[in-house]
Amino acid sequence: MANKGKYYMTTAIAYTSGKPHIGNTYEIVLADAVARYQRMNGYDVAFVTGMDEHGQKVADTAASKGMTPQDWCDSMEPAFRDVWDLLNITYTDFVRTTEPRHAHTVQDFWQKLYDKGYCYKGSYEGWYCVHEETYYNESDLLTNDDGEFVCPDCKRPVQKASGEENWFFKLSDFQEPLLKFYEENPDFIRPETRRNEVVSFVKSGLKDLSISRSTFDWGVPLPFDEGHVAYVWADALLAYLTGIGYGDDKREGEFEARWPMQYHFVGKDITRFHCVIWPAMLMAAGMPITHTVFGHGFLLVKGEKMSKSKGNGVKPEDLVKVFGVDAYRYYFLSDVQFGHDGSISLERMVQVYNADLANTWGNLCSRVFNMTKKYFSGSVPAAPAGAENNPLREIADTLYKEYDACMTDVDFTGAAAAVQKLAGRVNLYVEDSAPWNLAKSEETADELAAVIYNALEAIRIIALYMAPFMPNTSAEVYKRLGLGDISEMEDIESASVWGQLKAGSSVTVGDPLYPRLDVDSIDLSLD
């Protein structure tokens, strides 16, 4: 095993307002690809996700359903876990903010900040959006056609919060420390557009942050004032600590070994919370700060952000029924540029499926496996002398460096393109070599063996690099090549060195991996 150390990453924890749609799954699928790759790359990976269950919005939603907040949240857990399991998400911890262990984290953390003098009691004058769980100044608000103040983000009416007694965190103390931190750590906020937005926001001035509510009780009580519960963001952000054992006697040493983390993956709409409030909280606590927060874009349908309220949130289960789990994962990883908004359509999903998976990857495996059966009785032929000198190896030898650079930079489209470059070249190599003609003469038997061996070896290597994107397909290809469990791979760099496929190994043809799809035969509301 190439033991490269600890690697820790998270997604934002999901809000329990409704069942997940494909916009929700986008982030976690991409994060899972990183987790899978870094495990294959020799790292001990912790990958934390979970559910954000407190706040007024949850309490109001539960009331509308005739349920207690806890019962509502309990009913939502399977909705998320089942979809994450469907999509083969390999998280290591699923934190629910209603868990006692998380309440311990919240109370311990804020007690420390209170003891350090960073919390004080006051009254809040301003506006509050229940849907966004966010406080706004009047100057931040918009007005609707009725002249009502509305949230600048969700456009819903806001509530006047006049004179409500709150506890405040001295966020304003951290304006200059944050700006200095951003300057010294240019990769903390990515992509650059998010960084520019955050820096501009902080430069405009920071006000102290209300961290408690006293008008309802659905939340974690503050340890120094149990008449107040923690504001949802003062609670939810701390799930990232809970997920690696913060203050947990049963997981002694884990937190110290893993913190700070490598990556937060969050939607661009919550970048400020993760890049302003969160690092300020950590500074106040005297803790190291996350290496990078990546604020990705939205998935758009007909130019609009996916949301439950707009009714354009297509269910992942429906798309999986059409495309399969791996093709679903592959599309969002390969075709939607991470960091930018992505406009998705059923036609484009089918186009990518047919071009990359049916015509290239699936066709390659089918034709080479079938020729191995036909010409070599289903066994890997011995590579004759000189077979290693071929155009496929030239690409394969540089694939790790290119792929690793892309995955380190969370450039998933680039990583997919690097693998597809090799897959496309193998198809061309087979076509140009014409094994069906080489098989006609004993004089070209060695050449035939070289072509088939090289094609099979390239397929083996492609399967390795496809595994973070399409784990089921890569496992199946490995199985058909007579190889071991690809999920146990811990050193992809060494494993992808050319020439490791053993002669005599049994090759199974199997069913086509990706039969072509006809968009006109698919009945979905995506378009």
DSSP string, 240-289: HHHTTTTT-GGGTTHHHHHPSPSEEEEEGGGHHIIIIIHHHHHHHHT---
Give Cβ neighbours of residue 340 (< 8 Å, ≥ 6 apart).
191, 297
> Looking at residues 140-163, what average pLDDT do you find?
80
- What's the pLDDT score for residue 416? 97
**Coil, helix or strand for 415?**
helix
Q: Average pLDDT of 291-303? A: 85
Instruction: Please provide the CATH number assigned to the domain covering 325-495.
Output: 1.10.730.10
Asked whether residue 81 carries a pLDDT value surpassing 50, the answer given is yes
* Three-state secondary-structure class, residue 56: helix
DSSP 3-state of 447: helix
Q: Which of 121-125, 169-173, 227-231, 329-333 has the lowest mean pLDDT?
A: 121-125
End-to-end distance of the chain based on CA atoms, in angstroms? 46
**Cα gap 103→229, rounded to integer Å:** 11
Residue 369 to residue 507: CA distance in whole angstroms: 7
The structure tokens listed for 526 are 């995506």
Least confident residue range of 126-135, 207-216, 327-336, 446-455: 126-135
Query: For position 164, what pLDDT does the model report?
Result: 76
Q: Which residues pair with 229 in a beta bridge?
A: 213, 221
Contact (CB, 8 A) for 274 and 237: yes
Specify the DSSP element, H or E, that contains 14: strand 14-15
Report percent pLDDT > 90 for the chain.
79
CA distances from 491 to 43, 61, 381, 419, 465 (A): 9, 47, 26, 17, 12
Least confident of 13-27, 94-108, 250-264: 13-27
pLDDT of residue 526: 55
Q: What pLDDT, on the 0 to 100 scale, is given for residue 306? A: 47
3 state DSSP class of 59? helix
**Cβ proximity of 15 and 96 under 8 Å:** no
Q: In this predicted model, which residue has the larger pLDDT, 482 or 132?
A: 482
Q: What is the pLDDT of residues 310-368, one digit of tens each?
A: 444 578 998 999 999 999 999 999 998 888 888 888 899 999 999 999 999 999 999 99
pLDDT score at 136: 78
**pLDDT band for position 154 (50/70/90)?**
confident
Q: What is the rounded distance in angstroms from the CA atom of residue 130 to the CA atom of residue 55? A: 8
The two structure tokens encoding residue 286: 């005297």
Burial class (CB in 10 A: 0-12, 13-18, 19+), 117: exposed
Distance CA 519, CA 412 (A): 25
Residue 468: is the preceding peptide bond cis (ω within 30°)?
no
The average pLDDT across 34-58 equals 96
State the residue for tokens 């490598």.
Answer: 262
Distance CA 274, CA 166 (A): 22
Cα–Cα distance, 222 to 178 (Å, whole number): 26
Q: Is 402 helix (H, G, I), strand (E, B) or coil?
A: helix
Token pair listed for 159: 């509530």
Distance CA 487, CA 474 (A): 9
- The CA-CA-CA angle for residues 431, 432, 438, to 5°, reads 90
Mean pLDDT across the chain, nearest whole number?
92
**DSSP letter, residue 138:** G
Q: For the CA atoms of 410, 412, 415, 420, what is the dihedral angle to 10 degrees?
A: 180
More confident residue, 391 or 341: 391
Query: Cα 233 from chain centroid?
Result: 21
For residues 510-518, average pLDDT = 95
Q: Quick check: 525 pLDDT over 70? A: no
Q: What is the pLDDT of residue 311?
A: 45
d(CA 409, CA 497): 23
Please give the pLDDT value at position 293. 97
Please give the structure tokens belonging to residue 29.
């699928």
Q: Report the pLDDT averaged over residues 53-60.
A: 90
Domain residue limits, the chain: 325-495
Cβ(22)–Cβ(57) under 8 Å?
no
Distance CA 159, CA 98 (A): 26
CA–CA gap between residue 294 and residue 389 (Å, rounded): 41
pTM, two decimal places: 0.92
Do the bridges between strand 263-267 and strand 5-11 make them parallel or antiparallel, or are there none, so unpaired?
Answer: parallel
The structure tokens listed for 178 are 């944050």
> Are 266 and 293 within 8 A, CB to CB?
yes
Whether the Cβ atoms of residue 312 and residue 304 lie closer than 8 Å to each other: yes
- The whole-number pLDDT of residue 8 equals 97
Average pLDDT over residues 3-7: 92
pLDDT digits (tens, 9 = 90+) for 416-454: 999 999 999 999 999 999 999 999 999 999 999 999 999
pLDDT of residue 303: 57
> Alpha helices, DSSP H only, in 286-434?
316-323, 325-334, 346-352, 363-376, 391-408, 412-433
pLDDT for position 298: 86
Is residue 280 within 8 A of residue 171, CB to CB? The reply is yes
Confidence band, pLDDT 50/70/90 cuts, at residue 486: very high
Select from 182, 132, 189, 183 the least CA-distant residue to 339: 189
If you ran DSSP here, which 8-state letter would residue 310 be given?
T
280: phi then psi, degrees, rounded to nearest 5? -65, -40
pLDDT value for 308: 47
Q: Hey, what amino acid is at 372?
A: T
304 has a pLDDT exceeding 90: no
What is the DSSP annotation of 480-504?
A: HTT---GGG---HHHHTSTT-SPTT
